[in-house]
Chain A
């Protein structure tokens, strides 16, 4: 391919129609704490797996709300459930169960 010295950035458009409300409600029934997240990113900052692979519960929750479930799963697939995020979360979110629940609900199609 000819190098023009510039490239096309993939679209960062978020299609909120892709957001699956039923699935999110199912998630919130399993773990109501998902609604508590204020996206501070403490969980991401302390993440053990994050040293080796982009891992972020904050991002996963946002990606779910933005309708990008695959990306959300990708953000927590490396999680080792060590519980540091739970200890640091200022909102006291039950992060380990939230992660397991996200995988349970959104990971089924795999």
Chain B
């Protein structure tokens, strides 16, 4: 019946007899234009203007050295390859989401990759099949989008090549539609797709969201109504047969093309004011990110690309440790970035100060938007100007450096003074503030040094100064620089080849900010691992059932996951926690937060403890003095430090 329809309908058009030279496609109307494209073209032109102005603005705010870095990274083959890989994996396939939540990954990649393929295939179709008298210049903007309205198939002259593209277009349209169906479903039952909390959309977001939902069903309808004339494949032709059964022989398709065009127009016009701006901006951000550009201001220059790269997907909501209380969900990264976009200074500061800086939102973000770094930049704008007085550092850094030697070291070493060149043999141990608050760690670490016969210097036995990380986290960069300078001088004067730290907070800042030449900076878990590897510490399995907690700064902060686990695996039966490695939960004691009060922190601690004890371990083992102190208050099981667990299981 339909074939008959095509031929009878086509016969009614005189254009066909003119095109008897049998090209594959014929044009639908003499004019290459129809009024219905106006909404789409208007929306698209507005959007393109906005994007180009935005790009120029961003580039003007970036310093010349960063600009040079950026252009260089584009031609560098290594970063270029990484760019291509990241653009496909992060923007189109959403590999990171697939790995964690397959259904959610399918939803995101269906909409992103499916839509991308529809656009690309549309352009290929135009390039291959556009009839000669339809100049691409006349409608280059809208032919690829409304291809099936403007170009009809010449009945009886379909080629395999053309049918192949029809099939691909229908296939990807179906692919997107399944993604959209999941997205609509997610609005009502997000938990099925693996999300406990979803972002509350703003009003512009809603407008864009609903038009996005409508775009693809309308495209299906429009193309189905025209499919008998324009050609189609399994989806659109099948729909077309159904529509003919329902509506009879003549199908009036104009309204659907209008509706489709209006939805596209609304979507593109609304895009700059919504989360959907991420579709283009994340490309720019990934290029910036891979070029190694770092934001210096919370919302200008590089950060502008970064905050507009956020898709408000809401994965950071489930990641945030503060989500144990629903009222604190509003302090999550997604809302921080939303208010940064809106320049709402009061709310920005409130959210920036609340965060625990555990870094889980960054670890799970599909495009690695570094919200903790933006928060630090925001805190800097407020707190860096506050007065302080560290004049005592100049007077006291020297006495702090006076090396009190560990008893394992020969007594004569103290007389030789800190003049010799750094030797890898000599180890300096810097306990840091928090270890001094939990002396059991210092005792156990010293016990391990003695047991392994390590020649070590205890840098801050009588109390040193802070490492500077808490100041950096609070945004007091200038003050932190003074502290770092004083510590650096002390370490360089001591002349040790290895610096061992028992606090992950210190470990992070010593590795990243100090640039100590010729000094290996190690966390004690790494050092103990080395000692065990070289046979200087011999361990036995005590048979205890331990669970290991990844401290934020050590795990997500510095990527040290395996060393403590390997050593603990030798001395005990390690059971897994509910969330491990980069998914691990913050203990709640973090120095990152400025304003979170102790009651809310306790809730986080309780949640983390119950997550750690799902496999009923005998003790929680951690490698951070702050986590140790925090857990000790709330845990029903024993909380032990890594060093204690190792020291108890030395074989004679």
Given the complex of chains A and B, what is the CA–CA distance between A77 and B599 in angstroms? 28
A53 within 8 A of B: yes
A77 to B390, CA, bound (A): 8
Chain A residues near B589: list those with CB within 8 A.
Answer: 87
B550 at the A interface (CB under 8 A)? no
A1-9, A16-24, A91-99: which lies at the interface: A91-99
Q: Are B389 and A78 in contact (CB under 8 A)?
A: yes
Complex-state Cα separation, A81 to B396, whole angstroms: 18
B188 within 8 A of A: no
- CB B497 to nearest CB in A, in angstroms, measures 27
B392 — which chain A residues lie within 8 A by C-beta? Answer: 49, 52-53, 78
CB proximity to A under 8 Å, residues B430-478: 433-434, 436-437, 462-466, 468, 470-471, 474, 476
Task: Tell me which residues across on chain A come within 8 A of B353, comparing CB atoms.
Answer: 97
Q: Are A87 and B470 in contact (CB under 8 A)?
A: no
Decide if A52 touches B466 in the complex (CB within 8 Å): no
Q: Render A74-85 as a binary contact track against B, CB cut-off 8 A, 1 for contact.
A: 000111111110
In the complex the two chains form, is B626's CB within 8 Å of A77's CB? Answer: no
Q: Mark B483-507, 1 if CB is under 8 A from A, else 0.
A: 1000000000000000000000000
Contacts A78-B390, A82-B433; A94 near B595 (Cβ below 8 A): yes
A80 and B463 alpha carbons, distance in the complex (Å): 13
Cα A110 to Cα B389 in complex, Å, equals: 13
Given A80-B465, A80-B470, the answer on whether A96 and B483 have CB atoms closer than 8 Å is: no
* Size band of the interface chain A makes with B: 20 to 34
Interface: A37 (CB within 8 A): no
Chain B interface residue bracket vs A = 35 or more
Task: Say yes or no: is A33 at the interface (Cβ < 8 Å to chain B).
Answer: yes
Q: Give every chain B residue within 8 A of A87 (Cβ-Cβ).
A: 434, 437, 589, 626, 629
List chain B residues, Cβ under 8 A from A82.
Answer: 433-434, 466, 470, 591
Q: A35 at the A/B interface (Cβ < 8 Å)?
A: no
Taking the nearest CB of chain A, how far is it from the CB of B231, in angstroms? 67
User: Is A100 located at the chain interface by the 8 A CB criterion?
Assistant: yes
Instruction: List chain B residues, Cβ under 8 A from A79.
Output: 388
Closest beta carbon of chain B to A81's beta carbon, Å: 4
> Is B8 among interface residues, defined by CB-CB distance under 8 A?
no
In Å, the complex CA distance between A73 and B388 comes to 9
- Using A48-B463, A92-B597 as known contacts, say yes or no to A84 and B436 having CB atoms under 8 A apart: yes
Please indicate the chain A residues that have their CB under 8 angstroms from the CB of B99 in the complex: none
Does chain A have a CB within 8 A of B395?
yes
Most A CB within 10 A of own CB, among B393, B395, B599? B393
Taking a contact as CB atoms under 8 Å apart, the answer to whether A103 and B465 are in contact is no
- In the bound complex, CA of A49 to CA of B463 (Å): 9
| Cβ of A71 under 8 Å from chain B | no
B386 to chain A, nearest CB (A): 5
Partner of A80 from B395, B436, B483 at Cβ < 8 Å: B483
A83 & B390 in contact (Cβ 8 Å cutoff)? no
Q: Mark A36-77, 1 if CB is under 8 A from B, else 0.
A: 000000000010110111000000000000000000010001
Q: Knowing A100-B594, A104-B386 are in contact, say whether A84-B396 is a contact too (CB < 8 A).
A: no
Report whether B389 and A77 are in contact in the complex, using a CB–CB cutoff of 8 Å.
Answer: yes
Known contacts A96-B470, A100-B383, A84 near B594 by CB under 8 Å: no
Given A87-B437, A87-B626, A97-B353, are A80 and B597 neighbors across the interface (CB < 8 Å)? no
Chain A residues within 8 Å of B14, by CB: none
CA distance A71 to B388 in the complex (A): 13
Checking B465, B591, B629 against A96 with a beta-carbon cut-off of 8 angstroms, the contacting residue is B591
Q: Is the CB of A51 within 8 A of B463?
A: yes
Residues of A within 8 A of B436 (CB): 46, 48, 84
Is A88 close to B, CB under 8 A? yes
The yes or no answer to B34 lying at the interface (CB within 8 A) is no
Which of B387, B388, B395, B626 makes the CB contact (< 8 A) with A52?
B395
Closest to A55 in B: B392
Quick one: closest A residue to B462, CB to CB? A51
A92 to B471, CA, bound (A): 20
**Nearest CB to that of A110 among chain B residues?**
B387
Within 8 A of A (CB), among B374-391: 383, 386-390
Q: Report whether A84 and B597 are in contact in the complex, using a CB–CB cutoff of 8 Å.
A: no
Q: Tell me which residues across on chain B come within 8 A of A107, comparing CB atoms.
A: 386-387
Chain A residues contacting B470 (CB-CB under 8 Å) are 80-83, 96
Distance A83 CA – B470 CA, assembled complex (angstroms) = 8
Kindly state the separation between the CA atoms of A49 and B597 in the bound complex, as whole angstroms: 23
Which residues does chain A contribute within 8 Å of B466, judged by CB atoms?
A: 48-49, 80-82
Give A100 to B596 CA distance when docked, in angstroms.
14
A81 and B387 within 8 A (CB): no
A84 engages B387 (CB within 8 Å)? no
Known: A77-B387, A84-B434, A87-B434. A92 touches B599 (CB 8 A): yes
- Verify if B598 is at the interface (C-beta below 8 Å from A): yes
**A residues near B383, Cβ cutoff 8 Å:** 100
B595 with A97: CB separation less than 8 A: yes
- Contact check, B434 vs A81: say whether CB atoms are below 8 A apart: no
Q: Taking each of B464, B476, B594, B629, which has the highest tally of chain A beta carbons within 10 Å of its own beta carbon? A: B594
Q: Once the chains are docked, how many angstroms separate the CA of A103 from the CA of B436? A: 27
Q: Mark each residue of chain B from 598 to 625: 1 if its CB lies under 8 Å from any CB of chain A, else 0.
A: 1100000000000000000000000000
A80's closest neighbor in chain B, by CB? B466
Q: How far is the CB of B482 from chain A (nearest CB, A)?
A: 10
The contact of A48 among B389, B465, B474, by CB within 8 Å, is: B465
Most buried by B among A73, A84, A88: A84
Q: How far is the CB of B330 from chain A (nearest CB, A)?
A: 18
Cα distance A33–B393 in the bound complex, in angstroms: 30
Which residues of A sit under 8 angstroms from B629, Cβ to Cβ?
87
The 7 closest A-B pairs by CB, nearest first: A92-B598, A77-B389, A80-B466, A82-B433, A82-B466, A52-B392, A52-B396
23 contacts between A and B (CB under 8 A): A31-B595, A46-B436, A48-B463, A48-B465, A51-B462, A52-B395, A53-B392, A77-B388, A79-B388, A80-B471, A82-B433, A82-B434, A83-B470, A87-B626, A87-B629, A94-B597, A96-B470, A96-B591, A97-B595, A100-B386, A103-B386, A103-B388, A107-B387
Q: A80-B468, A86-B591 are in contact. List 9 more A-B contacts (CB 8 A).
A: A33-B597, A73-B387, A77-B389, A79-B388, A80-B465, A83-B591, A84-B436, A100-B474, A103-B387
Listed in ascending order, the chain B residues whose CB lies under 8 Å from chain A are: 353, 383, 386-390, 392-393, 395-396, 433-434, 436-437, 462-466, 468, 470-471, 474, 476, 479, 483, 589, 591, 594-599, 626, 629
